[in-house]
Amino acid sequence: MTTHLVWFRTDLRLHDNLALAAACRDRQAKVIALFIATPQQWLQHHMAPRQAAYLQAQLNALQTQLAQKGIPLLFHDVADFAASVEVVKNVCDEHQVDRLFYNYQYEINERQRDSGVEKTLDTVTCQGFDDSVMLAPGSVMTGNHQMYKVFTPFKNAYLRRLKEGLPECVQAPANRDNGACETTEIVLNLPQEPFDTTLFPADEKTAIARLRHFCQQQAAEYEEKRDFPAIEGTSRLSACLTLGVLSARQCLHRLLAECPHAQDGGPGAVWLNELLWREFYRHLMTYYPELCRYKPFIAWTDNVAWNNDRTALAAWQQGKTGYPIVDAAMRQLNETGWMHNRLRMIVASFLVKDLLIDWREGERYFMSQLVDGDLAANNGGWQWAASTGTDAAPYFRIFNPTTQGERFDKEGVFIRHWLSELNAVPEKAIHEPWQWAEKEGITLEYPRPIVNHKQARIETLAAYEAARKA
């Protein structure tokens, strides 16, 4: 009897899992699964305690699902990726594995780890799959066979490919003949904080139901509602995509089942656009691995003379900048491990363009807090906001945090939810509470603005212009 090993990483699901499906295709083969925790490696990459708790919950749910299929999940805990190479070799030797199946990860350290495994396993056939994307990196290229550096032409080319034929979703494996397996609780050796199970599905079945509900009830109105944080207008499925509890292909097929004209700009097109941004950043990472090493895509932006103001950085992190929309967003992040996408752009612009603090500080802090922290998406978003990345906003485009608040939380509903100290401030003054407080002779338990936006804008433009000329 041949033995197949499925190495799970960020693909914690049974449905539409390319590696798992391939391993189970031979009904005569014995199939075992493996997950290797690397806590020291994850901490070096600033894994958030809530994401660690979310990962642990998903692993235990996956173990139960696999056991019901007759597939045992082996769990090993080692320091880092280098040590995991030896674990894979030992598991293959112990269980006399003939074939190893896994889904690709595109970050540089993960690719080096997988290369090391393949070189180590002399007698085992290794097979990898482009599972975390809808179309494999390298399949959507310019006419000169180069990776796109701007999103819009990438999107247009991508949509053309999808119209030629959608990527298929594969079924969950059938039950194996050896019956159900025993399970043992998996505990990760990492700092953890509880996550809200009403916001983030804690198992695959719930995630699939959440996806179906969103596509049926909300995707068509996503364009109208997505920018307003007081409204539940987003899917909140990013954490599921990060750990692979859902696949991008599942999202695509479910969206098109409910919104069949999304590919042609009809209802659902804007949510499809978000899936394509995710693809864009993952494809980019495979062609520009320096993005994994805190390098800006636009080289001259490394010359910006950043402001190393630790007090201002701490005020931003704690939601005490004196700009209500910024502070409410940061407090949402700190309390829930998640932030609304419009707010991610606002707070990123504020850190970089108002405080002139290095975007890498913000990228690291987000990863340390986000339950949906994903290197490609997080790096891509921060470099977009900082005007350092591919398809970046021009450096002279700077969000005004006050007008952003007025536009996207006009009545201050979201702000009041997270800044209780502003509950007494009238609606018309909620975005500049200190002007009202001074006029009324009232002292607020809320900080004054730590920076003057107009003056900060002038200084930021000068700093970027000097860097560009240098």
Residue where a domain stops, chosen among 287, 315, 349: 287
- 114 with 208, same domain: the answer is no
Residue where a domain stops, chosen among 129, 159, 178: 129
Q: CA dist 129 to 62, 243, 245, 470, Å?
A: 20, 16, 16, 43
Q: Does residue 177 sit within a domain?
A: no
- 87 with 31, same domain: the answer is yes
- 282 with 314, same domain: the answer is no
Q: How many residues does the chain have?
A: 470
pLDDT, block means (10 residues), the chain with 470 residues:
96 98 96 97 96 98 96 96 96 97 97 96 96 97 94 96 96 87 94 94 96 96 94 94 98 98 96 97 95 94 96 98 98 97 97 98 98 97 94 83 97 97 95 93 94 97 94
User: Would you state the pLDDT for residue 266?
Assistant: 95
- 251 with 363, same domain: the answer is no
User: Would you state the pLDDT for residue 64?
Assistant: 97
- 242 with 312, same domain: the answer is no
- 51 with 13, same domain: the answer is yes
Q: Kind of pairing, strands 99-103 and 73-77?
A: unpaired
Q: Does residue 46 sit within a domain?
A: yes
- 120 with 144, same domain: the answer is no
CA-CA distance, 39 to 292, in Å (whole number)?
19
| Catalytic positions | 274, 277, 306, 341, 359, 382
Q: Does residue 176 sit within a domain?
A: no
Q: Which amino acid is at 373?
A: G
- 74 with 151, same domain: the answer is no
Print the domain residue range for 41.
3-129
- 123 with 212, same domain: the answer is no
Count of structural domains, the chain: 3
**CATH code, domain with 61:** 3.40.50.620
Taking 3-state DSSP, the helix, strand and coil percentages for the chain, each rounded to the nearest 5, stand at 55, 5, 40
- 14 with 151, same domain: the answer is no
What is the C-alpha R_g of the chain? 24
CA-CA distance, 361 to 343, in Å (whole number)?
17
User: Would you state the pLDDT for residue 390?
Assistant: 87
